[in-house]
Amino acid sequence: MSEGVLSHLLITLQPANVIACFAGALIGTLIGVLPGLGPAAAMALVIPLTLQLGPTAGLIMLAGIYYGSMYGGSTTSILVNVPGEPASVVTTLDGYEMAKRGRAGAALAVAAIASFVAGTFSVIALQLFAPLLARTALAFGPAEYFALTVLGVVLLSNLTGKSRTRSLIMMMAGLILSAVGMDPIGGLERFSFGIVSAQGGISFIAITTGLFGVAEVFEVVAAREKPVEILAVKFRELYPDREELKRSVAPIARGSLLGFLIGLLPGPAATMASFASYGMERLVSHHPERFGTGQIEGVAGPEAANNAASGGAMIPLLSLGLPFTPATAVLLGGMLLHGITPGPFLLRDRPDVFWGVIGSFYLGNMMLLILNLPLVGLFAKLVRVPPRYLMPIILVLCAIGTYGDNGALFDVWVMLGAGVIGYVMRKYGYQPAPLVVGLVLGPVMERSFRQTLIISGGRVESLWESPLCMVMWAVALLSIVLPGVIRLVKRRLATR
Amino acid sequence: MNGRRDVFSPVRVILVLIAALLSLGGIGTAAAAEWPARQVELINPFAAGAAADIQARKLAEIISRDLGQPMVVRNVLGAGGAIAYTEVNRAKPDGHMLIWYSGAINTLAARKQIAFDYTAFEPIAGVGIETVSIAVAKNAPWKDLKEFVAYAKANPGKVTMGNSGMGSVTHMVPVAMASKAGIKITHVPFGTGLAMAALMGGKIDSSSQHPAEVFNQVKAGEVRILAVSSEKRINIWPNVPTMKEMGVDLEFDQWRGIAAPKGTPQLVVDKLSPLVKKAVESKEWIDFASGLGSTPRYLSPAAFAKFVATVDKETREIMEGAGLLKK
> How distant is the alpha carbon of residue A482 from its chain centre?
29
Domain B133-228 classification at class level:
alpha beta
DSSP string, B34-49: GS-SSPEEEEE-SPTT
DSSP string, A123-159: HHHHHHHHHHHHHHHHT--HHHHHHHHHHHHHHHTTT
Question: Per-residue confidence at B132, pLDDT binned at 50, 70, 90?
Answer: very high
Predicted pLDDT at B4:
41
For chain B, what is the total number of helices (H) and then of strands (E)? 12, 11
Closest among A358, A2, A71, A37 to B22, alpha carbons compared: A37
- Taking CA atoms, what residue in A is nearest to B71? A48
Per-residue pLDDT tens over the stretch B44-56: 988 777 778 888 9
> What is the spatial distance between Cα A480 and Cα A489, in angstroms, rounded to a whole number?
15
Q: What are residue A173's phi and psi, to 5 degrees? A: -60, -40
pLDDT of residue B74 exceeding 80, the answer is: yes
Per-residue pLDDT tens over the stretch B156-188: 989 999 998 887 888 889 999 998 888 999 999
Question: Per-residue confidence at B7, pLDDT binned at 50, 70, 90?
Answer: very low
Q: How far is A186 from chain B (nearest CA, A)?
A: 6
pLDDT of residue B253 exceeding 70, the answer is: yes
Interface test with A, best of B23, B171, B184, B194 (most A CBs within 10 A): B194
Those of residues 203-262 in A touching chain B at CB distance below 8 A are none
Contacts of A286 (CB under 8 A, 6+ apart): none
Predicted pLDDT at A353:
81
Interface test with B, best of A188, A192, A336, A337 (most B CBs within 10 A): A336
- Taking CA atoms, what residue in A is nearest to B213? A322
Q: What is the DSSP letter of A90?
A: T
Considering only the beta carbons, identify the residue of A37, A185, A196 that sits closest to B83.
A196
Considering only the beta carbons, identify the residue of B13, B216, B288 that sits closest to A341.
B216
Interface test with A, best of B203, B204, B290 (most A CBs within 10 A): B203
Considering only the beta carbons, identify the residue of B166, B212, B220 that sits closest to A185.
B166
Predicted pLDDT at B193:
67
Q: What are residue B197's phi and psi, to 5 degrees? A: -65, -40
Predicted pLDDT at B145:
92
Predicted pLDDT at B72:
85
- Taking CA atoms, what residue in B is nearest to A404? B21
Closest among B89, B124, B127 to B105, alpha carbons compared: B89
Domain ranges of chain B: 36-130+253-322, 133-228
Question: Per-residue confidence at B29, pLDDT binned at 50, 70, 90?
Answer: very low
Query: Which residues in chain B are closer than 8 Å to A343, comparing Cβ atoms?
Result: 216-217, 219-220
Q: How far is A61 from chain B (nearest CA, A)?
A: 14
Angle at CA of residue A394, ends A393 and A400, nearest 5°: 90
Contacts of B296 (CB under 8 A, 6+ apart): B127, B128, B280, B281, B285, B286, B289, B290
Q: How far is A41 from chain B (nearest CA, A)?
A: 7
Query: Which residues in chain A are closer than 8 Å to B186, comparing Cβ atoms?
Result: 454-455, 457
> How distant is the alpha carbon of residue B88 from its chain centre?
17
- Give the count of beta carbons closer than 10 Å to the beta carbon of residue B188: 24
Contact at CB, B49 and A44, closer than 8 angstroms: yes
Q: Report the range out of A29-33, A131-135, B191-195 with the highest average pLDDT.
A: A29-33
Round the average pLDDT of chain B to a whole number and report it: 84
Which helix (H) or strand (E) segment is A198 a member of?
Answer: helix A196-199
Per-residue pLDDT tens over the stretch A154-203: 888 777 767 788 888 999 999 999 999 877 777 777 888 878 778 778 88
Contact at CB, A182 and B47, closer than 8 angstroms: no
Which residues partner with B295 through β-bridges?
Answer: B129
On whether the CB atoms of residues A61 and A20 are closer than 8 A, the answer is yes
Predicted pLDDT at B16:
57
pLDDT of residue A234 exceeding 60, the answer is: no
Give yes or no for B242 touching A (CB within 8 A): no
> What is the spatial distance between Cα B252 and Cα B103, in angstroms, rounded to a whole number?
10
pLDDT of residue A130 exceeding 60, the answer is: yes
Angle at CA of residue A407, ends A403 and A410, nearest 5°: 65
Q: What is the DSSP letter of A190?
A: E
> What is the spatial distance between Cα A487 and Cα A475, in angstroms, rounded to a whole number?
18
For chain A, what is the total number of helices (H) and then of strands (E)? 22, 2
User: Is the fold of B36-130+253-322 the same as that of B133-228?
Assistant: yes
- The mean pLDDT value for A121-149 works out to 84
Is the domain defined by B36-130+253-322 classed in CATH 2.40.33.10?
Answer: no
Q: Report the range out of A324-328, A438-442, B135-139 with the highest average pLDDT.
A: B135-139
Give yes or no for A474 touching B (CB within 8 A): no
Question: Per-residue confidence at A236, pLDDT binned at 50, 70, 90?
Answer: low
- The mean pLDDT value for A149-153 works out to 87
On whether the CB atoms of residues A329 and B50 are closer than 8 A, the answer is yes
Question: Per-residue confidence at A486, pLDDT binned at 50, 70, 90?
Answer: confident
On whether the CB atoms of residues A299 and A107 are closer than 8 A, the answer is yes
Predicted pLDDT at B28:
41
Interface test with A, best of B57, B184, B213 (most A CBs within 10 A): B57
Per-residue pLDDT tens over the stretch A280-324: 888 888 888 888 888 899 999 999 998 899 888 888 888 888 888
> What is the spatial distance between Cα B234 and Cα A124, in angstroms, rounded to a whole number?
40
- The mean pLDDT value for B268-284 works out to 89
